[in-house]
Amino acid sequence: MKSLAELQAIRDKARSRVTLREGQDDAIRVLVGMATCGIAAGARPVLTTLVDEVAKRGLQNVMVTQTGCIGICQFEPVVEIVEPGKEKVTYVKMTPEKVTRVVNDHLVNGNVVTEYTIGANSK
Amino acid sequence: MYRSNVLVCGGTGCTSSNSELIIDKLKEEIAAQGLEKEVNVIRTGCFGLCALGPIMIIYPEGAFYSMVKPEDVPEIVEEHLLKGRIVKRLLYQETVVENSDAIKSLNHTPFYEKQNRVALRNCGVINPEDIDEYIAVDGYQALGKALTEMTPEQVIDVMKKSGLRGRGGAGFPTGLKWSFAAQNQADQKYVCCNADEGDPGAFMDRSILEGDPHAVLEAMTIAGYAIGASQGYIYVRAEYPIAVKRLQIAIDQAKEYGLMGDNIFDSGFNFNIELRLGAGAFVCGEETALMTSIEGKRGEPRPRPPFPALKGLFGKPTILNNVETWANIPQIILKGADWFSSMGTEKSKGTKVFALGGKIEHTGLVEVPMGTTLREIVEEIGGGVPGGHTFKAAQTGGPSGGCIPASQMDVPIDYDNLIAIGSMMGSGGLIVMDDTTCMVDIAKFFLEFTVDESCGKCTPCRVGTRRLLELLNKITSGNGTLEDIDKMEELCEYLKENALCALGQTAPNPVLSTLHYFRDEYIAHVTEKRCPAGACKALTNYHIIEDKCKGCTLCARNCPVGAITGTVKKPHVIDTVKCIKCGACMEKCKFNAIVKR
């Protein structure tokens, strides 16, 4: 170890491994429906893509977690985004490609991707 | 990239209740479900809530599972990790929110809410066998700061200003100790870590070494820089195999990263640490005996002065600090003296870790700011005394400390207050006693310990503690006299003044403090030949209350020596001569008809 910068580089690289363990009460929660219906419809690649994208962009305040079936099995895979103080946004029929866009538009820039939401799909 | 972290406690407590098997089983089940790339299983140090072990915590949800059994693992993996449904029946009850799927954060439960974890900050959070995780939580930043931005004088100055006092028991100001060693010129100086934790009931040092070994290494290296030493030793007891193993792994990793060895941070400063294993003698926790033992000699104390800061290990200036003291230091360097001194009381800064044991609901490790009252620790954090019994006293400071009676429960705990009420901080063992504990018996227990552990070098301790124990035995067997109590007090004072080291000087404390607060119990043993708590076997007899006995014969059938006689539906009688006082009848009686007196 020759310098503080070198140490900080290791820290930044290792940081993402422990951030999951910090209790975040005000975090944006991203819930992926992972009941049998969700998994069958392809929720697993959706979940892993979400985790990867969130980590890649270094989003500290986002907690990706799973949830059970919310009862709209025909729309699985379902991803819900819960921001403190805002109305819940429900994305349906998600794919890894759609996830990339949701992370970019919604989580990074704060714009809801209306066309993927349940409102746009149930018509 | 993992989406979930499963932390399983790998401290000694949980390991002994099968957490290793749980980890193996977890990995197996996770692989079977094809989740090994998504879920990371980490073995951490102690979470502190040892009474509820084995403990598992799953992030990002923060679900805290307690008393997990290997057979619960498939359910946890399938329900929680695969399907995202928290297994409610295994949750720590305090985190369950009624009629809701949400769970309360651990930091809002009574056990953790009042705690402020500084020394224990990484225990149960990081993988102690992975230096990257320690670095991720700002590990070795303090060392980097000290070596690249501060002079040794500045480091000592921060330590002095922080007000940190030794956590091993005596409470000597750490910064002052360092400045003495720094002033003394020598070709070689040493830094030692006292990890010879010996007080019965204390296990905070073990938990820190098991849960956060790098913090101790980092702090010792900082001290080496501050006083101009290039070699450190950790004297750790061989009875702590997990701690020894993790320390060695940590040392190897630090060397590999160049955080130990030559020219650390390109500052020209060299430092190495080696382990020395102790065989478990209590006296080796005394600083001069510890250093004698590291030198390869028989672990016996020597008179002070000269103090170790002048003539310590191998006759060179040495500083010796306790594990918990070391664990505070990186944070102090990183966050500053003001941050640290903002916690605690006027003369005792920071926090203190207590090992809660005895008659208490939540056995475990807690870290609270100095100045927290015993009542808060016992009743709020510890969950009170179980089984409907009442709190009688708490013993702090191990065999060198004393008892705090219920009447002193609201005294803010710090170094000076504890001494004022006849006890001492010690290393932080806190044993809770209820109304079934006999105080004479407790004093005897600690005396038995010191008699066993006396090294025999000085006569007052070798002979004095033994005579003291004999007097206590005489009293608990019902043969004591009032003169014996006076004799004991005289002997206690003599020991305090004349023993060579702290072990002997403090050995009478358990007797003196129980005599001070519970003299009536001693007198009851002597004059009435009665043990008020019903703990001393020689002084208690079992009786059947005639009115309450229904003559069910249950006691008579369970008596192993046939001491109970009587006919069905008529009151029974215990023959006190035959009775061996095992208590089996009292346990079996459904009508509370049997009493001890």
Indicate if the pLDDT at residue B244 is higher than 90. Answer: yes
- Cβ pair B84:A65 closer than 8 A: yes
Q: Contact B264/A1, CB-based, under 8 Å?
A: yes
The answer to whether B151 and B399 are in contact (CB under 8 A) is no
Q: Which residues of B touch A31 (CB under 8 A)?
A: 84
CB B110 within 8 A of CB B94: yes
| Mean pLDDT on B460-481 | 95
- Residue A46 contacts B where some CB pair is shorter than 8 Å: no
- A119 pLDDT tier (thresholds 50, 70, 90): confident
The answer, yes or no, to whether residue B223 has pLDDT greater than 90, is yes
Asked if A51 lies within 8 A of B85 by C-beta distance, the reply is: no
- pLDDT (0 to 100) of residue A62: 87
Give the pLDDT of residue B561.
92
DSSP-derived secondary structure letter, B81: I
Contact B2/A23, CB-based, under 8 Å? Answer: no
Dump pLDDT digits (tens) for B143-193.
999 999 999 999 999 999 999 999 988 899 999 999 999 999 999 999 999
Which residue is associated with the tokens 């690249």? B148
Q: How many CB atoms lie within 10 A of CB B560?
A: 9
CB count within 10 Å of CB B132 equals 18
DSSP string, B480-541: --HHHHHHHHHHHHHHHHH-SSHHHHHTTHHHHHHHHH-HHHHHHHHHS---TTS--GGG--
What domains appear along chain B, each with residue ranges and CATH number?
Answer: 4-105 (3.40.30.10), 131-341 (3.40.50.11540), 351-434 (3.10.20.600), 439-527 (1.20.1440.230), 541-596 (3.30.70.20)
How high is the pLDDT of residue B423? Answer: 87
Mutate which of B3, B131, B257, B260 to disrupt the A interface (most A C-beta within 10 Å)? B3
Which residue in chain B has the smallest CA separation from A39?
Answer: B83
In B205-314, beta strands by DSSP E: 231-237, 261-264, 269-278
What confidence score (pLDDT) does residue B422 get?
A: 85
Tell me: ipTM over 0.85.
Answer: no
Please report the pLDDT score of residue B99 as a whole number.
74
The mean pLDDT value of chain A amounts to 87
Mean of the per-residue pLDDT values of chain B: 93
**Cβ contact B132–A48 (<8 Å):** no
pLDDT digits (tens, 9 = 90+) for B336-379: 999 999 999 999 999 999 999 999 999 999 999 999 999 999 99
Q: What is the CA radius of gyration of chain B?
A: 27
Domain range A22-121, CATH architecture: 3-Layer(aba) Sandwich (3.40)
pLDDT in tens, A34-93: 888 888 899 989 998 998 898 888 888 888 888 888 788 888 899 999 888 888 899 999
* Span B521-549, average pLDDT: 90
Please indicate whether, in this complex, the C-beta atoms of B136 and A15 are within 8 angstroms of each other. Answer: yes
Please tell me the predicted confidence (pLDDT) of residue B283: 93
Whole-model pTM: value is 0.88
The Cα–Cα gap between B350 and B368 comes to 9
pLDDT of residue B34: 87
Rounded to a whole number of angstroms, the distance from the CA of A123 to the nearest CA of chain B is 29
Amino acid at A33: G
With bands split at pLDDT 50, 70 and 90, how would you rate the model's confidence at B278? very high
Cβ contacts below 8 Å, chain A against chain B, sum to 97
Q: How many angstroms separate the CA of residue A104 from the nearest CA in chain B?
A: 18
B298-333 per-position pLDDT tens digit: 999 999 899 999 999 999 999 999 999 999 999 999
Domain ranges of chain A: 22-121
CA B47 to chain A, closest CA, distance in angstroms equals 13
Residue A102 above 80 pLDDT? yes
Residue B253 has pLDDT above 70, yes or no: yes
Q: Cβ distance B151 to B67 under 8 Å?
A: no
Q: Quick one: pLDDT at residue B113? A: 87
CB contact under 8 A, B125 and A21: yes
Residue B44 has pLDDT above 90, yes or no: yes
B contacts of A15 (beta carbons < 8 Å)? 136
Provide φ and ψ at B274, rounded to 5°: -125, 155
Each residue's pLDDT tens digit, B181-215: 999 999 999 999 999 998 888 999 999 999 999 99
> Is A47's CB within 8 Å of B38's CB?
yes
Whole-number pLDDT of residue A123: 59
* pLDDT for the residue numbered A23: 63
Residues of A in contact with B83 (CB under 8 A): 34-36, 39, 66, 68
Query: What pLDDT, on the 0 to 100 scale, is given for residue B110?
Result: 86
Give the residue ranges of DSSP H helices in B101-187.
Answer: 110-113, 131-136, 141-149, 152-162, 174-183
Which residue is closest to A15 within chain B, CA to CA? B136
pLDDT tens digits, one per residue of B389-444: 999 999 998 888 899 999 999 999 999 999 899 888 888 899 999 999 999 999 99
pLDDT exceeding 70 applies to what percent of chain A? Answer: 96
Provide, as residue numbers in chain B, all residues whose Cβ is less than 8 Å from the Cβ of A55: 1
* Distance, CA of A29 to chain centre: 7
pLDDT at residue B148, rounded to an integer: 95
Hey, what amino acid is at B518?
F
Q: Closest to A2 (Cβ–Cβ): which among B5, B135, B266?
A: B266
**What was the pLDDT predicted at B108?**
84
Q: Which residues of B touch A8 (CB under 8 A)?
A: 141
